[in-house]
Amino acid sequence: MSDVFDVFYVDNNQYPEKIKKTIESVKDKVDEFVQKYLEDEYVKQIPFYKEGKVIHDALWGTQYIKPHELVILDTPLLQRLRQIKQTGFTYLIYPSSLHTRFEHTLGVLSQASKMIEALKREPKYQEMIQPYEDTIRLAALLHDVGHGPFSHTSEEFYRYCDDFKILLYHPESPFSGWTPHELLSCLIITSKTFRNFFDTRIRDDYNQTSIDVDLIAKIIVGQIGDPLKLFVQSIINGPFDADKLDYIFRDGHFSGLPLKVDLDRLWYSLQINDIDLSVINSKGKIKTLTVPANSIGPLQQILFAKMVLFSSVYHHHKVRALDCMFKSFCIFARGEELNFNNKCSFSRATDFLWLTDYNFFNYADVEPRAHKILHNMLYRRLLKRALVISKSTTSGYSVIKKYAVNERDRDPYLRNLAEKIWIEAGKPCDKEDIWVDLPSPPPRGIADRTFIKKSENEFVPLSKIFKVDDWAENYIEHLWRGHVFGPPDDEIRKKISKAAKKVFQEEFDVKFNNFTDIICKLN
Amino acid sequence: MKVEIPGLCDILIGIFRKFKNDEFVNDRRAIHLAFKKLRDKYDILKNIVFKNDIIFPESQMLDEALYSLQPDFLGKINPSFDRFKIKKEKIDLFWDKKLKDRLGQFEQDFENIARELEETL
């Protein structure tokens, strides 16, 4: 496998012109952002810490932060994460869900360090993990630095902006299939400005010569390259990584939905092993994190907790309605050329780096229509369900669910469908107030990448023992709901509901029963 | 107004329609590897994006498409979930009603892809 990271520091002519140009332009835009957020004026105010500090977290308690980590933590780049809520707009549904990416970042550091400490109890693992400890800790601190406002809410919009459409969806792009915010984090960390900052303030000031900036970025995007270092990546970006452990506990806890994973058991059972990939009919050898067969309980708990979070929190219909309202605003702002500090035109993925949850709502003062949309969000005058697409409301719902796939042209298609409904309903409201929302399922594959030690030198993927991914998928399948959203007014929603049923029948040959009207309170 | 249909699910329906057997193994690694190879060979599959991974290349898009086709066009056989079941009757009906006109030109590709997949899965 060639090293896609070459693209960050050498002229690379192997990609088509269109991709090459986009990479260069995105790199420049990201560097412009990093320059602002690591401006000398701010950075020089960060002291030289002689000692570390302890920070208290509501979830994991007290943790120690090393002096050089405090410098990174003090940068506006990291402090910006205090202004981005971890779970987007869920706080308008689960009122205590106000935790931010900053808290999550510290939580990931806490979980990563617990994983490392657990491994270090065994001398042979200590030898393996020690050289990478500081790199892993910084990967934990920096892994979400590329998030935009409301975290995954904006990510679902900017992934379809022209620049990222090319980088993420063009089959010849070195970044195809990558997660949008991880790509932004990676571009920030590998930017010229961040490297300069790192060399002077971390490497030189603290003599941290063992920390590898490229390795940090590779860990974050899951592209470590060397199969014998896979265990290093797995702590931050793996089947049961520190990121998942923190967000499952944190999102569950602050939503008021406590989810249990037996972490003590997981720490106790953690191992690093060499696995011959012939066990999955493949070639080569990897060195990765494993757990013994008698300790797979926590892994199953992780998977099921994730599914519960998706169905109850992330895919709650009011959360989805707010996500649609966010998109409405972005489309409006792009059309009206509302521009924040001349940086955010809402048309490039990199524009969203300039926004946080705080300054996003400043647009309310810019323009009357913007004021209306944003105040409807802030004061919870939300779009409501006009139609529910589910197993219980229509027999042919797979025909519609086909469009839940995150394909390059999915969103324009769904916007066209919403416009058809709007016209069929007699244009009873603004076009941007009607949305067809078909949530994508949570990512799967954990069970294929988790190796279980059956006996000495015998390893199998978790999926060969228990089909946990399939069980979880089956569970969420029963809870999957697509929606057509419209304005809160009942009479308008009735019109939209009727029109949507007609459009879906014409388009997909699908009929709805009365249960949708009962759920939407339109009967 | 012309609605452009995106299409991995529709493409999969075209392919599964050509399967001689109505079952195939539910082995995620084998499925993803097979589609990765075929993507480099057939233009119709070129928009499936894969992320390189040390263990095997994975496509979230393919996962989502296989998930989205369930339960009407595709099912997993209980209780082991070891095999997928292609719901031929529904696939044929949907093809005739909705896809034939648009995707009929790719029938030979679907046939070839189905043969290759059947050999692998």
The percentage of residues in chain A with a pLDDT greater than 90, rounded to a whole number, is 77
Distance from CA of B116 to the nearest CA of A (A): 18
Using the Cβ of A444 and the Cβ atoms of chain B, whether some distance falls under 8 Å is answered with yes
Interface touch B52/A223, C-beta < 8 Å? yes
Query: Do the Cβ atoms of B64 and A406 come within 8 Å?
Result: yes
Q: Which residue of A has its CA nearest to B54?
A: A227
pLDDT at A4: 58
Q: Distance between alpha carbon A146 and the CA centroid of its chain, in Å?
A: 10
A398 touches chain B (CB under 8 A): yes
Rounded to whole angstroms, the Cα distance separating B89 from B91 reads 5
Q: Do B55 and A286 touch (CB under 8 A)?
A: yes
Comparing alpha-carbon positions, the chain A residue that sits nearest to B4 is A413
Among chain B residues, CA nearest to A391: B71
Contact list, A413 vs chain B (CB under 8 Å): 3-6
pLDDT higher than 50, residue A1 = no
In B, which residues are within 8 Å of A230 by CB distance? 54
Predicted local distance difference test score (pLDDT) of residue B4: 46
- Name the CA dihedral angle for A21, B4, B14, B85, rounded to a multiple of 10 degrees: 100
Q: What percent of chain B has pLDDT over 90?
A: 80
Chain B CB contacts of A224 below 8 Å: 54
- Average pLDDT of chain A is 93
Residue pair B26/B83 in contact by the 8 Å Cβ criterion: yes
Model confidence at A343, in pLDDT bands (50, 70, 90)?
confident
Complex confidence, ipTM: 0.91
At residue B5, the pLDDT reads 42
Confidence (pLDDT) at A523: 86
Note the pLDDT of residue B1: 47
Q: How far apart are CA A166 and CA A158, in angstroms?
A: 12
Whether A89 has a pLDDT exceeding 60, the answer reads yes
The whole-angstrom separation of Cα B49 and Cα B69 is 18
Say what the pLDDT of residue A171 is: 86
Q: CA nearest B56 in A: which residue?
A: A282
Three-state secondary structure string covering A172-193 = CCCCCCCCHHHHHHHHHHCCHH
Residue A8 binned pLDDT confidence (cut-offs 50, 70, 90): low
pLDDT at B3: 42
Looking at residue A390, what is its pLDDT? Answer: 94
Distance CA A233, CA A214 (A): 12
SS (H, E, C) A289-357: EEEEHHHCHHHHHHHHHHHHHHHHHHCCHHHHHHHHHHHHHHHHHHHHCCCECCCECCCCHHHHHHCCH
Q: Is B81 in Cβ contact with A405 (below 8 Å)?
A: no
Is the per-residue pLDDT at B2 higher than 60?
Answer: no
Range 458-517 of A in CB contact (< 8 A) with B: 461, 463, 467, 469-471, 473-474, 477, 507-509
Residues in B touching A474 (Cβ below 8 Å): 76, 81
Interval A484-503 mean pLDDT: 97
A150, A49, A163: which is closest to A99 by C-alpha? Answer: A150
Q: Which of A223, A398, A448 sits opposite B69 (nearest CB)?
A: A398
Please give the Cα distance from A55 to A64 (Å, whole number): 6
Please, what's the largest Cα pairwise distance for chain B? 45
Query: Does residue B4 come out as left (phi exceeding 0), alpha (psi in the -120 to 50 range) or beta?
Result: beta
Q: Express each pLDDT in B33-82 by its tens digit.
A: 999 999 999 999 999 999 988 899 999 999 999 999 998 899 998 888 89
Give the pLDDT confidence score for residue A7 in this predicted structure.
64
pLDDT attached to residue A258: 83
Q: How many CB atoms lie within 10 A of CB A484?
A: 28
Question: Is A278 a residue whose pLDDT tops 90?
Answer: no
Give the pLDDT band of residue A64 (cuts 50, 70, 90): very high
Q: Per residue in A159-197, pLDDT tens?
A: 999 999 999 999 889 999 999 999 999 999 999 999 999
- Set of chain A residues whose Cβ sits within 8 Å of the Cβ of B29: 280-282, 448, 461
Segments of A58-197 assigned E as strands: 61-65
At residue A442, the pLDDT reads 86
CA dist., res. A136 & res. A113, Å (int): 9
Q: Which residues pair with A62 in a beta bridge?
A: A56
One-letter amino acid at A128 equals M
> Is A275's pLDDT higher than 60?
yes
CB contact at 8 A, A393 and A512: yes
Q: What is the 3-state secondary structure (H, E, C) of A350-414?
A: HHHHHCCHHHHHHHHHCCHHHHHHHHHHHCCCCCEEEEEECCCCECCHHHHHHHHCCCCCHHHHH
pLDDT in tens, A371-406: 999 999 999 999 999 999 999 999 878 889 888 888
pLDDT at A12 over 70: no
Residue contact A441–B98, C-beta within 8 A:
no
Q: What is the mean pLDDT of residues A32-60?
A: 96
The pLDDT-based confidence of A471 (bands split at 50, 70, 90) is confident
A507 SS3 class:
helix
Residue A454, min C-alpha distance to chain B (Å): 19
**Bridge partners of B76?**
B84
User: Nearest 10 degrees: CA dihedral of A136, A140, A143, A148?
Assistant: -170
Question: Closest to B49 (Cβ–Cβ): which among A176, A441, A449?
Answer: A176
Angstroms from A140 CA to nearest CA on chain B = 20
Residue-level pLDDT at A5:
66
Contacts of A277 in chain B (CB under 8 A): 55
